[in-house]
Structure 1
């Protein structure tokens, strides 16, 4: 309208934001600090812990030897578990009903029976089959092996742990494979790539983002599960600790020794898992500032 002037909108005053107070958080923090102080005080002042005995055996030769066996069991069992898990997972996804059925049965059986029972069976396989042989199926046998020499106690423990782990890893790997968009597989097939190349070059590298975190957890769990080998005197850390306190009756301090070593190793594995996860999550991780790497 002629002669009219536009009035400027009134400038709003800045709002003085007052942060919401959370007194409950401070109360909870104070309670937790008091409880933590009580726990530390009890650990340091209770003579039943016998920290001097813990110090005497923490770096003893027998304990360190058992620790080395525990590390070997963990590495070998996880190697069998990862390789077997990938194989079983690929078989589960096969279009061949027999192949997928055998893989399903494997996962069902080994996940459904206790790992302790599997360790015992593999460690004492000689009671069931005194010898193993190679030859024609349902026909003559040509080469014979003594089961106790072919599968000693250590190898039986490795097989018990590794084959059981393969069943769990197969489900982890299968979930990772299924998380990859099927459109990429179809595009690769249209380009003439074989199923092996599609799996190794396209599917598995992307599936690693889903596979790595639970695999790290399984590795940490495996480190502690190796303590079950003590039932067959496998020479691991827990076995050696049991043998020591069986002679000196210092159960509590020797169990503390084992626990400290397990805590140290699991902490190292947790740090390694963190960096591996960060490596495989590049390109998808959202930083605190909202930027995508």
Structure 2
């Protein structure tokens, strides 16, 4: 849990000091469920989630959207940027655009260090609640950690945070959270996030001017998405825009491409 410096409001960082899963997408989806459970235990009945715009983040947003459609009781938040959406950028972390920011292990730990110690130039953790309580499937204890660099305000916050988690029966709340996630198709979504076999390379159609873009495709899916369009006779190019990966294509083919990529699971 960290303090967002622009607003002063708290935000949960759904991360881990260990490894939730061997691949980033699956780890982030598990982190999202566990982070939502912790937020719910501390009084947020309908946590608002966003996913930090890392590799695999669009896949995780898509998986969470499927689960929400099947009744998983969370809400996907909105970036404060003009293009909105549940993919979070740095601005969103500073102002606290959501209740729970989903990230991977290494990024989450780096962010926790920055947010806890930015007022001291990194020498001492001066604000926040430490590194949060341990949660997981079959885990019946509440163990929180602090750092040798944690100052007295952080240690005091960590004690209060842990006390609230214990009083709320956090292990029991996590069991219920995992039940809700399972009922909404968590295992199927985790299976869908596993790496797909590499399809046979496609031959590109004749090049034509690309005067339109498609956003929202994960960088790990970008090449496969371009090949999908080539196989259907649409010329496209992979590119990197200011908000992340994009596919460049002729404007006249944009709607057909959107339908093809949605059907193929890339959008």
Greater percentage in helix: 1
Larger Rg: 1
Greater percentage in strand: 2
Q: Same fold (TM over 0.5)?
A: no
TM-score scaled to structure 1, two decimals?
Answer: 0.26
